[in-house]
Chains A and B, each alone.
Chain A
Amino acid sequence: SYELTQPPSVSVSPGQTARITCSGDALPKKFAYWYQQKSGQAPVMVVYEDNKRPSGIPERFSGSSSGTVATLTITGAQVEDDADYYCYSTDSSGIHRVFGGGTKLTVL
């Protein structure tokens, strides 16, 4: 079955840039999406279609994708960005939805 691979954890100090990667064989042909999940809450989309930002999401969140790796970048991370981040995409068939293993971002 198709898998998306993320690092388990990333740690930065406030104001630094955090980068979270997501690797998947189908990413050259499929969009990546990024979701932020804080403890006990439903996920919230922070980037869609590789590099687009939904309304209401701070400009410090951005996305990119090159080859088999998609990247979520938080420029000038804030304490409130401390959360789990999941990438999401589809397999090569375009039907089956897959989430990455999640990355715990610590901003401390």
Chain B
Amino acid sequence: QVQLQESGPGLVKPSQTLSLTCTVSGDSINDSGSYWSWIRQPAGKRLEWIGRIYPTESTDYNPSLKSRVTISIDTSKSQFSLKLSSVTAADTAVYYCAREAYCTTTSCRFDYWGQGTLVTVSS
């Protein structure tokens, strides 16, 4: 059974950088068929895809966040990470990591998700 677990500070000050890590177990993060994604959800609002990384370190980002986002991967630790810079209160959300797999020519499925971690941006 694939499991993902988010970790990182639950409180970040405005203008600082939000940093989260997702630890993967039950699957090889090197699996060439899988992408590793970050998704967030402000309270009462829709899910928002932040971006994804492939084991080769190739990345794709949401255009609306691209200037502030960096996703990286450490295959030796079976982890991938999110950094979001210059945060504001609008970045307060539950942040999920997820596996994206079983890709067709046009899309993939988010088939496994972490439980989510609440990050609050406040001074």
* Residues of chain A whose beta carbon lies under 8 Å from any beta carbon of chain B: 1, 29-31, 33, 35, 41-43, 45, 48-49, 54, 86, 88-90, 94-102
A-chain residues with CB within 8 Å of residue B63 when the two chains form the complex: 1, 96
Q: Say whether, besides A43-B113, A96-B62, A31 and B49 are in contact (CB < 8 Å).
A: no
Q: Is B109 a contact partner of A48 (Cβ separation < 8 A)?
A: yes
Name B64's closest neighbour in chain A (CB-CB). Answer: A1
Q: Is A90 a contact partner of B107 (Cβ separation < 8 A)?
A: yes
Q: Roughly how many angstroms separate A68 CA and B64 CA in the complex, as a whole number?
A: 24
Minimal beta-carbon separation of B109 from chain A (angstroms): 5
Q: Is B109 a contact partner of A45 (Cβ separation < 8 A)?
A: yes
Minimal beta-carbon separation of B98 from chain A (angstroms): 8
Per-position contact with A for B7-33: 1 when CB-CB < 8 Å, else 0? 000000000000000000000000000
> Quick check: is B104 within 8 A (CB to CB) of the other chain?
yes
A-chain residues with CB within 8 Å of residue B114 when the two chains form the complex: 42
A-chain residues with CB within 8 Å of residue B115 when the two chains form the complex: 41-42
A-chain residues with CB within 8 Å of residue B102 when the two chains form the complex: 48
Per DSSP, chain A at the interface is loop
Q: Roughly how many angstroms separate A98 CA and B111 CA in the complex, as a whole number?
A: 16
Q: Is A89 a contact partner of B113 (Cβ separation < 8 A)?
A: no
Q: Roughly how many angstroms separate A94 CA and B100 CA in the complex, as a whole number?
A: 14
> Quick check: is B48 within 8 A (CB to CB) of the other chain?
yes
B-chain residues with CB within 8 Å of residue A33 when the two chains form the complex: 107, 109-110
Q: Say whether, besides A1-B64, A42-B113, A98 and B49 are in contact (CB < 8 Å).
A: yes
Name A98's closest neighbour in chain B (CB-CB). Answer: B49
Q: Is A99 a contact partner of B109 (Cβ separation < 8 A)?
A: no
Name A86's closest neighbour in chain B (CB-CB). Answer: B47
Q: Is B107 a contact partner of A89 (Cβ separation < 8 A)?
A: yes
Q: Is A94 a contact partner of B107 (Cβ separation < 8 A)?
A: yes
